[in-house]
Structure 1
Amino acid sequence: MKRLQLEHDLLTKANELIKKIWASICGSWETGKRRCWLMPYDRHMHCRNSLRGWSSPRSSYFYHRSLLSLEDRYAELRQNIVTLFETNRNCYGYRRIHAALARGGEQVSEKVVRRLMKQEQLIVTTARRRRYTSYQDELDPAPENLVNRDFHAARPNEKWLTDVTEFRLLAGKVYLSPIIDCVDDLVVSWSVSTRPDAELVNTMLDAAIETIADSLERPLVHSDRGAHYRWPGWLSRMQSAQLTRSMSRKGCSPDNSACEGFFGRLKNEMYYNRTWINTTLHDFMQQLNSIRWYNQHRIKISLSGVSPTEYRRNLGIAA
């Protein structure tokens, strides 16, 4: 009994191994073809019982066995496909292989080319492109979210919001980094660049710190968890100006929704539904100075129909 059990276990493991080998070599073959190849049929009771155990009818077995005895009608085409694939640096997919065959006068369906390439394991290796993201893992412990989605402020320079947004043009990409005051959505400072690097945010922060007239004012600066706000240059500037850091949760844009809303309004009014085909990066960066119009002239219903600059002027606050 132990010997029979051992033989059974060995055959089970061997069967699993053979299935994996066939799946890697020609995974597109049907199960019936694999069974036909693994077990040549004879009239002995053992093979009949094997067919019965596999729930495979005799007619199916003979059908697949007859197919195996036929010659491969795509043998020449298969060789041509392999040659085209290897001579073109292994970078032609089935569409280009089909086009190359058509140029040579070979009339064949794309589906046939794709199936034969799959059987021959002719796979184009491509490197996955990594999308840009400002999040570069946890560089240091992130501060708490002190704003907690409360974007109201009682006085200027109490809560500042910042983030980086991207504008795509045919000539390239432009990045905008502003600081917004929560009391009236005034853009305290901003910087524009063609690269989302540390200089973009550091220049903006330096300009914002210079606007603080009262030495007792210590704004709370809220941002996302981008690497720009965790690099040594940003941290040293925050510490020198004695500003308090606050960060959103990872991948949670609603935690900075007021700044995201500013980006949405700015793009709806000056970027979307406009043609930028012949616009250079320099010209577009100059047009982003429309933020001055946003501060000085664009009225806000939440401010009783005046602009942020006029709102502060009415309160006797220098903008």
Structure 2
Amino acid sequence: MELDTLKKAKEIIRKDPGISVNTLTNREKTKIVDALRETYPLAELLSVLTLARSSYFYHRAALRAGDKYVTVHTTMAEVFNGNYGCYGYRCLHAMLRQEGLRLCGKVVRRLMAEEQPVVSRSRRQRYKAPRPTIYSPEILKRRSLIKNG
């Protein structure tokens, strides 16, 4: 049974073959238990993986719940693309509040980091000091011939 759990861990989590049960997170252990639950009893799997029963059911419910910001993702994309991709997180946050979605700024920034919207506005040009022109020796020789000439 322990060998099967390690094989499933390799398949599901895609970690190196030298993984230990102790280094896995509870969420990863929950995925392994769900995969092997048809072949082994739940109590044995939990004891082999050293996972508490309450932790298993908590992470199982969290995995099944999905993303709670699905509507926010679509609304953010509509607002961002509707304004030609010029809005940063502050403007997006204000527009989402106008549409009735109350989120804090940190959540808006995190969701933007997940989506990685491309802002179309270019940055301000930096000042570039004029550089003296360096002439080749042939040009300098020609100029001196014209002046003296």
When normalised by structure 1's length, the TM-score is: 0.29
Which residue is equivalent to 1:114?
A: 109
1:263-316: CA deviations, max 9, x gaps?
A: xxxxxxxxxxxxxxxxxxxxxxxxxxxxxxxxxxxxxxxxxxxxxxxxxxxxxx
8 Å contact kept, 2:76–2:92 = yes
1:61-112: CA deviations, max 9, x gaps?
A: 1112233444765443333223223333445343331121123343221122
Cα RMSD of the aligned pairs, angstroms, is: 4.3
- Write the distance in 2 (CA, Å) between the matches of 1:69 and 1:113: 23
Which residue is equivalent to 1:80?
A: 75
Change (3 A) 1:122 1:102: same
- Write the distance in 2 (CA, Å) between the matches of 1:74 and 1:11: 29
- Write the distance in 2 (CA, Å) between the matches of 1:74 and 1:124: 16
Change (3 A) 1:12 1:66: closer
Change (3 A) 1:62 1:81: same
1:108-167: CA deviations, max 9, x gaps?
A: 21122233344xx310336997x98xxxxxxxxxxxxxxxxxxxxxxxxxxxxxxxxxxx
Query: Which structure shows the higher helix fraction?
Result: 2
8 Å contact kept, 1:85–1:97 = yes
Which residue is equivalent to 2:30?
A: 36
8 Å contact kept, 1:95–1:110 = yes
Alignment of 1:129-208 (within 5 A): 175=129, 195-196=130-131, 200-202=132-134
1:14-46: CA deviations, max 9, x gaps?
A: 6317xxxxxxxxxxxxx4345434542748646
How many residue pairs are counted as aligned between the two chains?
124
Change (3 A) 1:122 1:85: farther
- Write the distance in 1 (CA, Å) between the matches of 2:13 and 2:106: 31
8 Å contact kept, 2:13–2:28 = no
1:202-255: CA deviations, max 9, x gaps?
A: 3xxxxxxxxxxxxxxxxxxxxxxxxxxxxxx34x27x96xxxxxxxxxxxxxxx
Q: Alignment partner of 2:51: what SS?
A: coil
Query: Which structure shows the higher strand fraction?
Result: 1
Which residue is equivalent to 2:21?
A: none
Alignment of 1:251-266 (within 5 A): none
1:189-211: CA deviations, max 9, x gaps?
A: xxxxxx22xxx243xxxxxxxxx
Q: Alignment partner of 1:124: what SS?
A: coil
Q: Alignment partner of 1:82: what SS?
A: helix
Query: Percentage identity across aligned positions?
Result: 27
User: Aligned match of 1:12 in 10, 13, 24?
Assistant: 10
User: Aligned match of 1:96 in 91, 99, 102?
Assistant: 91
More RCO (CA 8 Å, sep 6+):
2
8 Å contact kept, 1:91–1:124 = no
State the structure with more CA Rg. Answer: 1
